[in-house]
């Protein structure tokens, strides 16, 4: 059994006992929050069916300076109207307790009225899932995900029998919400140590015409099949998605800019559904190589605008990309240069003013992107991840046991 260095029951502070009930089994310590307030502490669950923290109140809850380790969801809030802020926390996914099930979410929240997730560190989880929304889009009732440090989104099953689609951030049917901001997050997925689908996915989710959802200044590296040398992969860096059949319910009003997508198999940024989606001034760099120099087999094209769900022009319209900088390797292709597929052939008629980097695109090209990212943070006096809460992120506080490939 995985253990937390220093003991899981130490450092439990800043909550009122009357505000919660807790359960302890062996080394586990979980909490159910039924009153608003600020909560800090160290929580652990080795049971995939038991979240570390479950929130069942609509009063404002702040989780701050927490250390979480769990086989299932780390934070779960399924009460309509939840009002949640998570900041300066560290979350670690443990090996699932059952077969044919992936690690849990860092946050799984449904029908919230407010969610802010900032300055956290999460490793070996299945990311953040936001399902539907009950807030009005005012500054106190919207969605903000920023300044987080993310390692290895991982949807693989422990018995190696398959995986579930997982994302750093999945918005599912979060519709007509003003004020959405996803910014300055650093996401890195290592080949054969992660299992991500779309790092960012807007599924039947939308901003508004007056206030489009803003996805900007994020650094996302890594989207691979498992094993990484496999030939088939459907994930991306970012995709607008969804099977809705009306303009009011499909993905819409999304603007993504100043992002960096590095080493992403299949695609960096796709528009596969929706309307009024605009990708601009992003960088999409993929060398087509593993760090060992082995060629990746599942790269396709950096970006595409295509009507995947074959919706009518009243549902899929006014989508475009422009002013993006691209160097995307697909071995054997030739668009615009040898072994390149920067713009998806036949699926990029609204992709304009692309700056195609010259060949060769190499592993050093990818490393340079991370250097540019760090320079951007320094220039703006920003940092990602938490400020010194608990053990260092590279300690053995919650070792993430990897599935073995048979």
Mean pLDDT, to the nearest integer, of 178-206?
99
From first CA to last CA, the distance across the chain in angstroms is 22
Stretch among 52-56, 183-187, 200-204, 395-399 having the lowest mean pLDDT: 395-399
Using the structure block, give the residue that is written with the tokens 């290895």.
152
Domain coordinates in residue numbering, the chain = 22-379
pLDDT band of 26, cuts 50, 70, 90: low
From the CA atom positions of the chain, what is the Rg in Å?
21
Q: Which of 244, 243, 225, 236 is nearest to 201 (CA)?
A: 236
pLDDT at residue 225 is higher than 60? yes
Q: Is the pLDDT of residue 15 over 80?
A: no
Name residue 328's beta-bridge partners: 286
Sign of the dihedral through C-alpha 176, 177, 179, 183: negative
Structure confidence at residue 76 (pLDDT)? 99
Q: Cβ(259)–Cβ(218) under 8 Å? A: yes
C-alpha separations of 196 from 21, 91, 120, 300 in Å: 34, 17, 19, 17
Distance CA 2, CA 27 (A): 9
DSSP code string of 61-123: EEEES-EEEESS-SEEE-STT-EEEEES-EEEEPPPSSSS-----SEEEEEESEEEEES-EEE
Residue-wise pLDDT tens digits, 313-341: 999 999 999 999 999 999 999 999 999 99
Average pLDDT of the residues in 380-391: 82
Arch. (CATH architecture) of 22-379: 3 Solenoid (2.160)
* Per-residue pLDDT, 160: 82
pLDDT of 25: 52
Q: Cα(213)–Cα(277) distance, rounded to whole angstroms?
A: 9
Q: What is the pLDDT of residues 230-251, one digit of tens each?
A: 999 999 999 999 999 999 999 9
Cα torsion angle, 19, 72, 119, 41, sign: positive
Rounded Cα distance between 266 and 86, Å, is 32
Tell me the mean pLDDT in the region 199-216. Answer: 99
Report whether 64 contacts 38 (CB < 8 A).
yes
pLDDT confidence of 387, banded at 50, 70, 90?
confident
pLDDT at 104: 98
- Is residue 396's pLDDT more than 60? no
pLDDT tier for residue 274 given thresholds of 50, 70 and 90: very high
Calculate mean pLDDT across residues 184-206.
99
How many Å apart are CA 159 and CA 171, to the nearest integer?
Answer: 28
Binned at pLDDT 50, 70 and 90, residue 173 comes out as very high
Q: What is the mean pLDDT of residues 35-43?
A: 98
pLDDT of residue 161: 87
* Cα→Cα distances 316→207, 369, 383, Å: 16, 33, 37
Q: Which DSSP helix (H) or strand (E) runs through 370?
A: helix 363-379
Q: Is the pLDDT of residue 180 over 80?
A: yes
More confident residue, 289 or 398: 289
| Ordered DSSP codes for 120-183 | -EEESS--EEEEEE-S-SSTTSSEEEES-EEE--B-B-TTSS-B----SEEEES--S-TT-EEE
How many CB atoms neighbour CB 221 within 10 A? 22
Of 101, 91, 41, nearest to 69 by C-alpha is 91
Contact yes or no for 184/384 (Cβ under 8 A)? yes
Average predicted confidence (pLDDT) for the chain: 91
Residue 353 has pLDDT above 90, yes or no: yes
Query: Strands 20-23, 30-33: parallel, antiparallel or unpaired by DSSP?
Result: antiparallel
Question: Among 101, 122, 226, 100, which Cα is nearest to 169's?
Answer: 122
Average pLDDT (361-376) is 99
Picking from 210, 215, 189, 188, the residue whose alpha carbon sits closest to that of residue 200 is 215
Report the range of poorest mean pLDDT among 128-137, 154-163, 185-194. 154-163
């Amino acid at each position: 059994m995985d253990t937390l260095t220093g003991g899981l029951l130490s450092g439990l502070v800043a909550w009122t006992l009357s505000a919660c009930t807790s359960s302890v089994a062996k080394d586990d310590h979980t909490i159910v929050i039924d009153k608003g307030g600020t909560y800090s502490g160290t929580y652990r669950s080795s049971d995939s069916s038991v979240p570390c923290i479950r929130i069942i109140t609509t009063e404002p809850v702040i989780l701050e300076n927490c250390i979480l380790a769990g086989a299932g969801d780390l934070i779960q809030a399924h009460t309509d109207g939840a009002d949640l802020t998570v900041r300066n926390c560290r979350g670690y996914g443990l090996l699932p307790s059952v077969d044919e099930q992936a690690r849990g979410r860092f946050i799984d929240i449904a029908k919230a009225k407010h969610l802010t997730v900032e300055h956290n560190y999460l490793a070996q989880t299945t990311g953040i899932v936001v399902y539907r929304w009950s807030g009005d889009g005012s500054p106190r009732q919207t969605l903000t995900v920023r300044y987080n440090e993310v390692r290895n989104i991982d949807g693989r099953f422990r018995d190696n029998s398959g995986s579930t689609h997982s994302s750093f951030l999945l918005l599912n049917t979060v519709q007509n919400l003003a004020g959405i901001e996803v910014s300055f997050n650093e996401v890195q997925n290592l080949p054969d140590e992660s299992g991500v689908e779309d790092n960012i996915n807007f599924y039947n989710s939308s901003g508004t015409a007056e206030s489009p959802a803003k996805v900007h200044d994020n650094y996302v590296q890594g989207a691979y099949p498992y094993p990484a040398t496999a030939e088939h992969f459907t994930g991306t860096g970012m995709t607008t998605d969804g099977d809705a059949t009306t303009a009011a319910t499909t993905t819409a009003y999304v603007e993504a800019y100043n992002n960096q997508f590095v080493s992403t198999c299949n695609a960096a940024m796709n528009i596969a559904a929706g309307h009024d989606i605009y990708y601009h001034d992003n960088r999409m760099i993929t060398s087509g190589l593993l760090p060992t120099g082995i060629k990746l087999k599942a790269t396709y094209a950096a970006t595409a605008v295509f009507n995947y769900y074959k919706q009518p022009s009243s549902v899929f319209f006014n989508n475009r990309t422009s002013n993006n900088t691209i160097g995307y390797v697909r071995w054997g292709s030739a668009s615009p240069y040898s072994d390149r597929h920067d713009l998806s052939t036949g699926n990029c008629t609204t992709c304009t003013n692309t700056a195609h980097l010259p060949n060769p695109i190499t592993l050093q090209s990818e490393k340079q992107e991370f250097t540019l990212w760090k320079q951007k943070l320094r220039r703006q006096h920003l940092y990602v991840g938490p400020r010194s809460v608990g053990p260092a992120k590279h300690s053995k506080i919650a070792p993430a046991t990897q599935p073995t490939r048979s």
